[in-house]
Chains A and B, each alone.
Chain A
Amino acid sequence: MQRIKPGRAEHLITVNGEQRRVSLRPADTLLYTLRDELGLTGAKPGCENGDCGACTVLVDDVPMKSCLLLTMELVDESRPRQIETVEALDRAAVQEQFLRHWAFQCGYCTSGFLMLAEGLCRQRPDADASEMLDWMRSNICRCTSYAELIHAVADTLQRSAREGAEPAHP
């Protein structure tokens, strides 16, 4: 049985493909470990109540709200968990479509929406409109860019499906 005392101690987590040593308390949420320990400020504190999704990251390719996760849950030598933040995306298809559709206004929610959409594209590349909406309802944009966000994600899925269906060029 793993047992961790209260107070700060160093632990290893895997973030964006790299093993990182972090100092954390058992009560620390992943959101603040990423931001304060690792300087990865792409995950945003919004409601910190699991409602807005501004803090969304991927854990083993699954979108998770980092304000709802204890970092300690992801410290597991027997089963290292892969954490990905928006800093890991490098001109990903979904980023290109967010730019093309102007799928942001103030931008505060953008990284959370990007990680949600990236998770959707990886997990359910053949998602229909209804499934896409079900995923997208997980996050909130207070500037109400919803139409642009939905167009951007729908376009990413469609392009991905077309490219997947076309034979690869030599």
Chain B
Amino acid sequence: MIPVDFSYWRPDTAEEAVATYQQLADGGQHPVYYAGGTEIVTRSRLGQLSCGAVIDVKAIGEARCLGRDGGRWHVGAALSLAELIHDGSWPLLARVAERIADHTTRSHITLGGNLAGTIAYREAALPFWLADADVTTVGRGGRRTARFADRFDGALALEPGELLLALSVPEGVLQQPSYAQKATRLDYVDYPLVTLAALHGAEGRLSVAWSGLKPAPTRSAELDAALMGPGSAADRARRAARHLPPTLAQDLHGTADYRRFVATNMLADALSALEAR
């Protein structure tokens, strides 16, 4: 049971949501945007979050868009992970998403919540980070579409009150060879020890992004370059692993050394799988 109360708002447009946020914030109401609610409900119950208003963005049509237009595949931030997996248009996104939380909870968690929430792992960001993704937000200054990579560096840089509305990737990315693997330490359904997502780009370039290592998502251009040199998959994985972050997370899920060991083997698995195609 959530001990404190708040007001509940359900706007029909993104602009209405942003204006409502501003009005409530100016009035000292500490509003939050609400979609899947998994973090807001659980943290409110535990007293870790105290908001005076929730703005439910699920009635905003653009936040639930899904489909192709103008050579790009568009996906709304208020779609649940289960809806994205069911759609299946982008196999890499579906494979990453189907290892986040459990089957039922994936019907609650939204893409936007996974990307912009406080839980650091943000595994759904990995495919968008690797692709030439765009992100559309609405804030005080109006709408803004930018390269996802320019606004994401382990966390999405959002201004206070800026609403994450939708993302898009070039249609061609959907069919590019890809690979994803997640290792957990305590149980199958768990936060990642290490999650890897890999995408074989149009020019034969392989790029990799990680979650769990830091634990926020991370990637390295030097590591990607080292994957392309000569040698067996295992040799290149070992060489590339030298470019993993020097300091890795060390926690209940695993030691830094163990994470490095698992990540190196994941790289070899990814190379073998992608090159066997």
Residues of A in contact with B (beta carbons under 8 Å apart): 1-7, 25-29, 32, 48-50, 53, 56, 62-65, 67-70, 72-73, 76, 116, 134-135, 137-139
Q: Are B103 and A137 in contact (CB under 8 A)?
A: yes
| From A29, A62, A68, A72, contact of B8 by CB (8 A) | A72
Q: Are A68 and B103 in contact (CB under 8 A)?
A: no
Q: Are A27 and B10 in contact (CB under 8 A)?
A: no
Q: Are A1 and B7 in contact (CB under 8 A)?
A: no
Q: Are A116 and B104 in contact (CB under 8 A)?
A: yes
B273 at the interface (CB under 8 A from A): no
Interface of B is mostly: loop
Q: How far is the CB of A59 from chain B (nearest CB, A)?
A: 9
Residues of B within 8 A of A2 (CB): 8-10, 59
| From B16, B107, B108, B188, contact of A1 by CB (8 A) | B16
Q: Are A26 and B104 in contact (CB under 8 A)?
A: no
Q: Are B102 and A137 in contact (CB under 8 A)?
A: yes
| Cα separation A138 to B42 with both chains bound (whole Å) | 17
Contact with A along B46-69 (1 / 0, CB 8 A): 000000101010110000000000
Q: How far is the CB of A10 from chain B (nearest CB, A)?
A: 15
Q: Are A29 and B103 in contact (CB under 8 A)?
A: no
B254 at the interface (CB under 8 A from A): no
Q: Which residue of B lies closest to A7 (CB)?
A: B5
Q: How far is the CB of A71 from chain B (nearest CB, A)?
A: 10
| Cα separation A92 to B78 with both chains bound (whole Å) | 34
| From B6, B56, B58, contact of A27 by CB (8 A) | B6
Q: Which residue of B lies closest to A71 (CB)?
A: B8
Q: Which residue of A lies closest to B187 (CB)?
A: A137
Which 10 interchain pairs have the tightest Cβ spacing?
A26-B8, A138-B104, A2-B10, A138-B102, A6-B5, A27-B2, A4-B8, A1-B11, A138-B103, A27-B5
Q: Are B107 and A63 in contact (CB under 8 A)?
A: yes
Residues of B within 8 A of A134 (CB): 98, 103
Q: How far is the CB of B112 from chain A (nearest CB, A)?
A: 15
Q: Are B54 and A26 in contact (CB under 8 A)?
A: yes
Identify the interface centre among B4, B7, B11: most chain A CB within 10 Å of its CB: B7
